[in-house]
Amino acid sequence: MNKGFVSLVGAGPGDADLMTIKALRLLKEADVVVYDRLVSAEILNLIPQGITRISVGKAAGNHCVPQDEINQTLVVLAQSGRRVVRLKGGDPYIFGRGGEEALVLKKHNIDFEVVPGVTAAAGCSAYAGIPLTHRGTSHGVRFIAGHFHNDEELDINWDKIADPDCTLVIYMGLANLQTISDELVKAGLAATTPAAAIHSATTLEQDKVISTLSELPGAVTKAELKSPVIIIIGMVVALNNKLDWFQSQCETNEWETEYDGFDMVSTISH
């Protein structure tokens, strides 16, 4: 019997053109593709006919397939001699639980590889016109999980991350956005700090709201943004007016507000 092999592959944030050449090649060579909810239909359409597809999509508060069952599925498929592509949105090792799956494969002596993907932070920010770092504005960037396993209370050192010289990118933070906003302001980050919430970035369904830290939760509620959403907080968000190259491809509604000398634009694009 042929020995199975698993490729943990990052599909990127949604735009199929952002996939790596290796990721595309592996999709064409696979016997079976096990994919997440956040893998776009455009990317799934790249899987050739005849290759088995297994959906294990998970959403916050609605886990279609438990992680333990996903792990077992990968083990069983590989042990049957198949070439398995485990296709994940973004990057497997950035809030993708790829490390957990790799450890399970290692435990069962199953050969595997990890293929990086464009993580949501990089893809969403670029398509929203927001550089994650910018000379004189942001000297660093932090990736934060805004949703914990089993809906546990957020256990974050807010004082440590409330740094006005650093950009915060919060994954899976939509449900806890009001708490995130309140805690960061309480920790000393200015309520007027520019902030963005971006839905389905890099795709034609991209929607975004640009506001301030204290007002973002209300603006997101008004705009009715739905998951998946990336939240970006920091002075670099104020650059989106000048750098949003993707916006011209979408029909746009805008309203103008002011922020300490910056002309801020709160935008929902459809």
Mapped onto helix, strand or coil, the DSSP state of residue 26 is: helix
107 lies in the same domain as 77:
yes
- Domain boundary at 115, 144, 167, which? 115
d(CA 206, CA 198): 7
Inter-axis angle of helices 216-223 and 177-186, nearest 10:
160
Nearest-CA neighbor of 164 among 260, 235, 212, 214?
Answer: 235
d(CA 230, CA 137): 20
**Domain harbouring 95, CATH code:** 3.40.1010.10
On whether the CB atoms of residues 215 and 27 are closer than 8 A, the answer is: no
169 lies in the same domain as 90:
no
131 lies in the same domain as 259:
yes
36 is catalytic: yes
Torsion, Cα 130 132 135 139, to 10 degrees, reads 150
What does the pLDDT read at residue 87?
A: 98
143 lies in the same domain as 224:
yes
235 lies in the same domain as 265:
yes
The active-site residue out of 15, 17, 22, 36 is 36
228 lies in the same domain as 126:
yes
111 lies in the same domain as 132:
no
Nearest-CA neighbor of 172 among 215, 87, 229?
Answer: 229
Please list the helix, strand and coil fractions of the chain in percent, rounded to the nearest 5, in that order.
Answer: 30, 30, 40
Number of domains in the chain: 2
- Domain boundary at 115, 143, 166, which? 115
d(CA 93, CA 70): 16
SS (HEC) of 204-261 = CCCEEEEEECCCHHHHHHHHCCCCCEEEEECHHHHHHHHHCCCHHHCCEEEEEEEECC
What does the pLDDT read at residue 247?
A: 76
Residue matched to tokens 């696979």: 30
**Domain harbouring 227, CATH code:** 3.30.950.10
What does the pLDDT read at residue 236?
A: 98
124 lies in the same domain as 107:
no
CA Rg, the chain, in Å? 20
Q: Tell me phi and psi for residue 209, to 5 degrees.
A: -125, 130
What does the pLDDT read at residue 249?
A: 65
What does the pLDDT read at residue 268?
A: 40
Task: Determine the structural domain holding residue 104 and report its residue range.
Answer: 5-115
DSSP assignment of 29-79 equals H-SEEEE-TTS-HHHHTTSPTTSEEEE--EETTEESS-HHHHHHHHHHHHH
CA dist 231 → 82, 88, 91, 104, 186 (Å): 38, 20, 17, 31, 18
Half-sphere exposure of 1 (CA within 13 A, CB side): 10
162 lies in the same domain as 64:
no
58 lies in the same domain as 178:
no
d(CA 219, CA 198): 12
What does the pLDDT read at residue 85?
A: 98
189 lies in the same domain as 258:
yes
- Domain boundary at 73, 98, 115, which? 115
d(CA 151, CA 147): 7
159 is catalytic: no
Mapped onto helix, strand or coil, the DSSP state of residue 24 is: helix
d(CA 201, CA 267): 13
101 lies in the same domain as 139:
no
What does the pLDDT read at residue 59?
A: 54
The active-site residue out of 31, 58, 163, 182 is 58
Mean pLDDT per block of 10 residues along the chain (270 residues) reads 89 96 98 95 95 82 79 97 97 96 98 97 97 95 85 85 97 95 98 97 94 98 95 97 83 41 41
